[in-house]
């Protein structure tokens, strides 16, 4: 059957290449009895593909049933799929046929197959391999001839690595994988889908026809649609019911679009310093907090040396006010190699953050409180005093950096950088 005919028969709207490729694969595999695994996010229309496969197959006159595996409790799913004998468990007052027995000769669609318990996965694998199953509470092996089409929005191979899905079952199910694209991957189809849904709902609710201005069409085409086609359909129905007939502007349509969080750019690659579960925003905030802590440690050190240059431990100052989110920060290629280095450049000089690598950190002055001090003879030997204090602390602690850092009132990491800066290894 031609692609256009399939779209018209099953109400498929769209002309994107990814959608066409998925449909062509479904059309080619439908006449066979091969197992099919339909992949895609929630709301993309995976069940529609299962119906296309069944209706274009030689089993089209046999039963078809769609089962949502994630909606059936774990304790009863074996009974639902394979049936049970009378007295097999509490409440089993009668003998019951399962889906695989009642759909014999037809097609069963297992949606959210990744949610199946491991025990049920073993039973399903046996059916796929030799068409045999055993009812709950029975010892009699029964045969069935059922074509299995599965769908999932999960990464089954990742779940297999986590021990939550059988790898052998995955390869049995994924004889022919079909990936249904997200709505965000077929943006040229969004305006067409809206027009189709608006026309259907106008007839269903006996309301006027709704149309969109070019700006409104551009707005819905650029929207993220995390709920995919299902979300677009729901939003269209809301607009058709709550708005008067006519052409709607972008401002009107925007009231029905939930705000979507923009994705942050990738700041850092995987590192042992950041947990696997941390989001990019968490990593960004962690970098800023570490940077603020380094500035605070340096200010403590400088103020301590100015107040009491002869003492081994400087005066501990209160940390400065929290730094607001900077507007212009260039992150260095390696956060671990930043070094805070005090530089004297006269009466107006302060503290400048100077990294070891070539990528500078630019921090606007309005966000970082500079440490300024009068130009005296003492300031001219600031680095010598800092070096002398670090040497004294290391000597007093017998080279133990942790104790030396505590004595200086700075972090161990800052001390490590200072040791590297002054070549005290």
User: Over the stretch 230-264, which tens digit does the pLDDT of each residue have?
Assistant: 999 999 999 999 998 889 999 999 999 988 654 44
> What crossing angle do the helices spanning 382-396 and 401-408 adopt, rounded to 10°?
130
13, with CB counted inside 10 A (0-12, 13-18, 19+), is: middle
Find, among 116, 150, 154, 158, the residue nearest to 40 by Cα.
Answer: 154
* Phi, psi (rounded to 5 degrees) for 302: -65, -45
84, with CB counted inside 10 A (0-12, 13-18, 19+), is: buried
Tell me the per-residue pLDDT of 53-96, one tens digit each, with 9 for 90 and over.
999 999 999 999 999 999 999 889 999 999 999 888 888 888 99
Alpha carbons 123 and 77: distance in angstroms, whole number: 11
* Phi, psi (rounded to 5 degrees) for 97: -85, 145
Contact status, residue 311 vs residue 295, Cβ threshold 8 Å = no
**pLDDT, mean of residues 292-300:** 76
| Residue 69: partners with Cβ closer than 8 Å, 6 or more residues away | 77, 110, 111, 112, 113, 115, 116
- According to the model, what pLDDT value does residue 290 have? 74
- According to the model, what pLDDT value does residue 178 have? 96
Alpha carbons 359 and 338: distance in angstroms, whole number: 10
Q: Which residue has the higher pLDDT, 2 or 299?
A: 2
Tell me the per-residue pLDDT of 118-138, one tens digit each, with 9 for 90 and over.
999 999 999 999 999 999 999
Tell me the per-residue pLDDT of 260-278, one tens digit each, with 9 for 90 and over.
654 444 444 444 444 444 5
For the four alpha carbons of 366, 370, 376 and 379, in that order, the dihedral sign comes to negative
CATH 3.20.20.10 for the 185-254 domain, yes or no? no
CATH of 3-181 among 3.40.50.300, 3.60.15.10, 3.40.50.12500, 3.40.50.2000 = 3.40.50.300
Question: Beta partners for 366?
Answer: none
Find, among 228, 248, 249, the residue nearest to 240 by Cα.
Answer: 248
**pLDDT, mean of residues 9-35:** 94
**pLDDT, mean of residues 187-194:** 94
pTM, 2 dp: 0.60
Confidence check: pLDDT of 372 > 50: no
Percent of the chain past pLDDT 70, that is, above it, reads 74
Contact status, residue 93 vs residue 132, Cβ threshold 8 Å = no
DSSP string, 286-337: HHHHHHHHHHHHHHHHHHHHHH-TTSSSPPPPPPPPPPPPPS-----S-GGG
Task: Read off the pLDDT band of 100 (50, 70, 90).
Answer: very high
Tokens of 190: 């969004």
**pLDDT, mean of residues 387-393:** 84
- According to the model, what pLDDT value does residue 383 have? 75
Spans of all domains in the chain: 3-181, 185-254, 280-421
* Phi, psi (rounded to 5 degrees) for 324: -75, 165
Of 183-187, 321-325, 342-346, 400-404, which gets the smallest average pLDDT?
342-346
Confidence check: pLDDT of 10 > 80: yes
**pLDDT, mean of residues 147-160:** 94
In Å, how far are 39, 74, 343 from 179, measured between CA atoms? 5, 27, 59
3-state secondary structure 390-414: HHHHHHHCCCCHHHHHHHHCCCHHH
Question: Beta partners for 111?
Answer: 68
Q: Which residue has the tokens 């950096």?
A: 401
Alpha carbons 239 and 233: distance in angstroms, whole number: 10
Of 145-159, 179-193, 383-397, which gets the smallest average pLDDT?
383-397
Contact status, residue 317 vs residue 413, Cβ threshold 8 Å = no
Rounded to the nearest 5 percent, the helix, strand and coil shares of the chain are 45, 10, 45
> What crossing angle do the helices spanning 190-204 and 228-242 adopt, rounded to 10°?
50
DSSP state of 62: S
Percent of the chain past pLDDT 90, that is, above it, reads 54
């Amino acid at each position: 059957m031609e692609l256009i005919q399939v779209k018209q028969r099953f109400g498929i709207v769209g002309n994107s290449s990814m959608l066409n490729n998925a449909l062509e694969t479904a059309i080619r595999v439908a006449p066979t009895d091969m197992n099919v695994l339909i992949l895609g996010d929630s709301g993309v229309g995976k069940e529609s593909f299962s119906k296309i496969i069944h209706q274009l197959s030689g089993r089209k006159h046999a039963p078809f049933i769609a089962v949502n595996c994630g909606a059936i409790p774990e304790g009863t799913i074996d009974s639902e799929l394979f049936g049970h004998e009378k007295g097999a468990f509490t409440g089993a007052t009668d003998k019951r046929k399962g889906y695989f027995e009642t759909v014999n000769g037809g097609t069963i669609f297992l949606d959210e197959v990744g949610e199946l318990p491991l025990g049920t996965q073993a039973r399903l694998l046996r059916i796929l391999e030799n068409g045999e199953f055993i009812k709950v509470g029975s010892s009699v092996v029964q045969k069935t001839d059922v074509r299995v089409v599965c769908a999932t929005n999960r990464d089954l191979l990742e779940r297999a690595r986590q021990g939550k899905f059988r790898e052998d079952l995955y390869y049995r199910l994924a004889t022919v994988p079909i990936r249904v694209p997200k709505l965000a991957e077929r943006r040229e189809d969004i305006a067409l889908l809206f027009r189709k849904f608006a026309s259907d709902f106008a007839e269903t609710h006996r309301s006027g026809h709704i149309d969109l201005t070019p700006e409104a069409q551009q707005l819905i085409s650029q929207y993220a649609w995390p709920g995919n086609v299902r979300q677009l359909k729901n939003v269209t129905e809301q607009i058709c019911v709550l708005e008067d007939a006519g052409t709607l502007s972008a401002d009107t349509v925007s009231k029905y679009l939930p705000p979507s969080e923009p994705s942050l750019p990738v700041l850092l690659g995987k590192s042992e310093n950041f947990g696997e579960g941390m989001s990019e925003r968490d990593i960004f905030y962690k970098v800023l907090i570490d940077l603020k802590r380094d500035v605070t440690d340096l200010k403590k050190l400088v103020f301590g040396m100015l107040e009491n240059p002869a003492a081994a431990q400087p005066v501990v100052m209160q940390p400065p006010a929290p730094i607001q989110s900077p507007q212009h920060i260039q992150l260095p290629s390696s956060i671990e190699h930043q070094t805070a280095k005090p530089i004297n450049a006269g009466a107006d000089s302060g503290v400048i953050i100077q990294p070891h690598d070539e990528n500078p950190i630019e921090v606007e002055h309005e966000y970082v409180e500079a440490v300024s001090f009068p130009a005296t003879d003492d300031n001219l030997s600031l680095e010598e005093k800092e070096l002398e204090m670090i040497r004294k602390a290391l000597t007093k602690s017998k080279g133990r950096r942790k104790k030396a850092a505590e004595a200086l009132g700075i972090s161990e990491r800052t001390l490590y950088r200072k040791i590297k800066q002054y070549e005290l290894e």
